[in-house]
């Protein structure tokens, strides 16, 4: 393992699955290790639902493995997912619903893209929403402007 340019860890295909081969690289959002996640810790309320969430760092490690196994689409999906970990669940569901064809105007979709970029530091997902807005416009799948 060597650090990336931003200090993050890098992994190789031989490190997969990370949970058994490189567990020291995996942390919960609150910083707990896999060894900290036990039934006893759950029963004593030392582990919360937040501790069971995946982190952007873990998704990046998985993306590196996907790239090394020639799965660039999987790597891109994992990186998009990493960005979305910063979006509150309720808002994420609202955005998902807004992306249904016919559910939003182009302006509403562009506002979502700006929000993703500016508030949630999710530029890749913002670009995806902008692309959806353009495709929906070409295919006449946007909601009517009020």
Residue ranges making up the domain that contains 58: 1-85
How many structural domains does the chain have? 2
Residue 112 shares a structural domain with residue 138 = yes
Last residue of a domain, one of 85, 100, 122: 85
Count of helices and strands (H, E) across the chain: 7, 0
pTM of the predicted model, to two decimals? 0.84
79 neighbors 59 (Cβ within 8 angstroms)? yes
Residue 76 shares a structural domain with residue 100 = no
Residue 40 shares a structural domain with residue 105 = no
Residue 105 shares a structural domain with residue 78 = no
Residues near 111 by Cβ (< 8 Å), separated by ≥ 6? none
User: Phi and psi dihedrals of 79, rounded to 5?
Assistant: -70, -40
CATH of the domain at 102: 1.10.1510.20
Closest CA to 92 of 61, 59, 125, 60: 125
Q: pLDDT per position in the chain (146 positions), as tens?
A: 334 445 578 999 999 999 999 999 999 999 999 999 999 999 999 999 999 999 999 999 999 999 999 999 999 999 999 999 999 999 999 999 999 999 999 999 999 999 999 999 999 999 999 999 999 999 999 999 87
Using DSSP, state whether 103 is helix, strand or coil: coil
């Amino acid at each position: 393992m060597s650090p990336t340019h931003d200090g993050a860890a890098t992994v190789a295909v031989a490190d997969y699955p990370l949970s058994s081969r490189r567990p020291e690289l995996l942390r919960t959002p609150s910083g707990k290790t896999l060894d900290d996640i036990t039934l006893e810790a759950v029963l004593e309320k030392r582990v919360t639902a937040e501790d069971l969430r995946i982190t952007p760092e873990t998704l990046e490690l998985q993306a590196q493995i996907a790239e090394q196994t020639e799965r660039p689409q999987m790597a891109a999906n994992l990186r998009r997912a990493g960005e979305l970990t910063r979006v509150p669940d309720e808002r994420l569901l609202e955005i998902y619903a807004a992306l249904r064809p016919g559910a939003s105007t182009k302006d509403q979709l562009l506002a979502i893209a700006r929000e993703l970029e500016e508030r949630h530091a999710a530029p890749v997902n913002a670009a995806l929403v902008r692309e959806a807005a353009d495709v929906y416009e070409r295919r006449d799948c946007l909601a009517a402007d009020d």
